[in-house]
């Protein structure tokens, strides 16, 4: 690295200018990586609004398919999700019906606030959560037995829910989601309607892909910083942003020099995030010593990426480069608790999965689950479901015949054309595009943890 030149103890002008170039770029890359989850959250909120959602009033329901661009969305369960504006509505109530719902609320900075449904305080019994805006000092709140009271540091939050389609009944799962009610606490005696609409058959993009490698990333980030109260936890990194000209109450107007630096930082930061996601050097990423499968989440003890004494920034980078939303329930590695996610991106020989080749994945039966299991294929560039002529990107035990009678294993296939032996158990991939898979188990049993069960690696067939 070039050294600063000093003369009589003072930096030489030209050398000082070069040092500023380096330090501004370094700060911008680190700020990009730290605030990427914020811009990703803004992508979710803008995407749902573009699809027709209105904050506090309506939200889409969908079973994700390849036409829905969203980081590692899956086709296993119907989704309901949308932004809530606490400035617009004041304290808001989320009222859940009883049933197999799984969800959460994250704030505008993509930080976990509360789990909903099965992983939440009331489990399958339903119940009501009361969201309080920043600095709220209003009327006396109800007893905690009636409402679970949660305070947000941001005006805007995301409510995301899934309904488990037990027995493969998607209609019942959709009806359960449609029974969710969201309304202002001030109108609890006569709540206004909260409406849902089906977006399953219409395209939708909830990602920051259009902004993540260019100057627009910083404009979007500035719009969030400018709209939200400062958060003490983010104080140091907000200071870094201010040095780059991104500050609440101050227009974002970079000069040509800063535009160049910020654009380069967006490209570099995006690339470094993808290295964390797909070329990690962390030993704790490996699920089994004799397999290529990796853990998606590296902090099973919490949903905040905290470790003793510090923030695990690499685990945080890795997660948000390929996925969205966070909560403790998403990372637990406990029997019967929620779901387990494994990442498969390399074959048995250690090579990245290639959309132009055919692979077999052998899965021992029975899979240790109490609910269901699935494998979903994602495009490495978009981190969204693979888009191919077949029009599907998942094999799901609830909906596909994945347990041949009397068999001790099932073979799944992935490639450009369906092998004769696949018998429909095939996901089409695209030549020239890398892909990866998530293996999900819902309601994992003990064998998923004690090494008595594990899927094989992807084996190239050509």
pLDDT at 145: 66
pLDDT at 301: 85
Query: What band does 142 get if pLDDT is binned at 50, 70 and 90?
Result: low
**Nearest in space to 426 (alpha carbons), one of 352, 358, 342, 336:** 358
Long-range contacts of 134-137 (CB under 8 A, 24+ apart): 134/86, 134/229, 135/229, 136/90, 136/91
**For the chain, what percent of residues have pLDDT higher than 90?**
90
> The tokens of 310 are what?
């510090």
Asked if the model's pLDDT at residue 143 lies above 70, the reply is no
pLDDT at 335: 79
| Domains of the chain and any CATH numbers | 6-45+211-276 (1.10.3360.10), 51-200 (2.60.40.1610), 280-460 (2.60.120.600)
Asked if the model's pLDDT at residue 2 lies above 90, the reply is no
pLDDT at 339: 84
Please state the pTM of the whole predicted model. 0.95
**pLDDT tens by residue, 335-362:** 766 789 999 999 999 999 999 999 999 9
Residues 35 and 222: their CA atoms lie apart, in Å, by: 11
pLDDT at 146: 86
Query: What band does 34 get if pLDDT is binned at 50, 70 and 90?
Result: very high
**pLDDT tens by residue, 389-441:** 999 999 999 999 999 888 999 999 999 999 999 999 999 999 999 999 999 99
State mean pLDDT over 121-128: 92
Query: What band does 1 get if pLDDT is binned at 50, 70 and 90?
Result: confident
**pLDDT tens by residue, 180-229:** 999 999 999 999 999 999 999 999 999 999 999 999 999 999 999 999 99
Residues 443 and 336: their CA atoms lie apart, in Å, by: 4
Q: Other CB atoms closer than 10 Å to residue 282's CB: what's the count?
A: 14
Q: What is the mean pLDDT of the chain?
A: 95
State mean pLDDT over 49-56: 97
Asked if the model's pLDDT at residue 61 lies above 60, the reply is yes
pLDDT at 337: 60
Asked if the model's pLDDT at residue 328 lies above 90, the reply is no
**pLDDT tens by residue, 67-116:** 999 999 999 999 999 999 999 989 999 999 999 999 999 999 999 999 99
Query: What band does 381 get if pLDDT is binned at 50, 70 and 90?
Result: very high
pLDDT at 462: 84
Asked if the model's pLDDT at residue 144 lies above 60, the reply is no
State mean pLDDT over 320-339: 85
């Amino acid at each position: 690295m070039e050294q600063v030149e000093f003369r009589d103890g003072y930096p030489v002008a030209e050398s000082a200018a070069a040092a500023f170039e380096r330090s501004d770029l370094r700060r911008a890359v680190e700020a990009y990586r730290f605030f990427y989850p914020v811009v990703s959250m803004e992508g979710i909120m803008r995407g749902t609004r573009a699809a027709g959602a209105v904050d506090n009033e309506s939200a889409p329901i969908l079973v994700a398919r390849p036409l829905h661009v969203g980081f590692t969305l899956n086709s296993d369960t119907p989704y309901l999700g949308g932004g809530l504006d606490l400035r617009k509505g004041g304290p808001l109530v989320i009222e859940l019906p009883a049933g197999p719902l799984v969800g959460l609320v994250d704030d505008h900075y993509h930080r976990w606030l509360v789990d909903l449904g099965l992983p939440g305080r009331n489990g399958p019994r339903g119940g009501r959560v009361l969201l309080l805006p920043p600095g709220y000092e209003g009327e006396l709140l109800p007893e905690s037995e009636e409402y679970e009271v949660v305070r947000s540091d941001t005006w805007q939050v995301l409510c995301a829910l899934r309904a488990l389609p037990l027995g493969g009944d998607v209609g019942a799962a959709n009806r359960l989601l449609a029974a969710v009610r969201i309304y202002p606490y001030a109108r609890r005696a006569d709540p206004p309607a909260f409406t849902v609409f089906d977006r399953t058959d219409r395209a939708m993009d909830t990602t920051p892909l259009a902004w993540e490698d260019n100057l627009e990333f910083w404009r979007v980030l500035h719009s969030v910083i400018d709209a939200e109260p400062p958060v003490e936890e983010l104080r140091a990194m907000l200071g870094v942003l201010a040095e780059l000209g991104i500050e609440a109450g101050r227009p974002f107007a970079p000069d040509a020099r800063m535009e160049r630096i910020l654009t380069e930082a967006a490209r570099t930061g995006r690339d470094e995030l993808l290295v964390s996601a797909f070329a990690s050097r962390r030993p704790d990423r490996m699920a089994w010593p004799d397999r290529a499968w990796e853990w998606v989440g590296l902090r099973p003890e919490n949903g905040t990426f905290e470790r003793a004494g510090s923030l695990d920034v690499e685990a945080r980078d890795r997660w948000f480069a390929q996925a969205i939303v966070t909560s403790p329930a998403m990372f637990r590695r406990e029997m019967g608790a929620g779901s387990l996610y494994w990442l498969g991106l390399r074959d048995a020989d250690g090579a990245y999965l290639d959309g132009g080749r055919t692979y077999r994945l052998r899965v021992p039966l029975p899979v240790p689950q109490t609910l269901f299991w699935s494998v979903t294929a994602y495009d490495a560039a978009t981190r969204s479901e693979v888009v191919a002529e077949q029009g599907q990107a998942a094999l799901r035990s609830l909906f596909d015949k994945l347990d041949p009678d009397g068999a001790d294993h099932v073979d799944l296939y992935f490639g450009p054309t369906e092998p004769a032996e696949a018998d429909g158990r095939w996901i089409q991939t695209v030549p020239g595009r890398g892909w990866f898979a998530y293996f999900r188990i819902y309601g994992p049993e003990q064998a998923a943890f004690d090494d008595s069960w594990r899927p094989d690696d992807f084996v190239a067939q050509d």
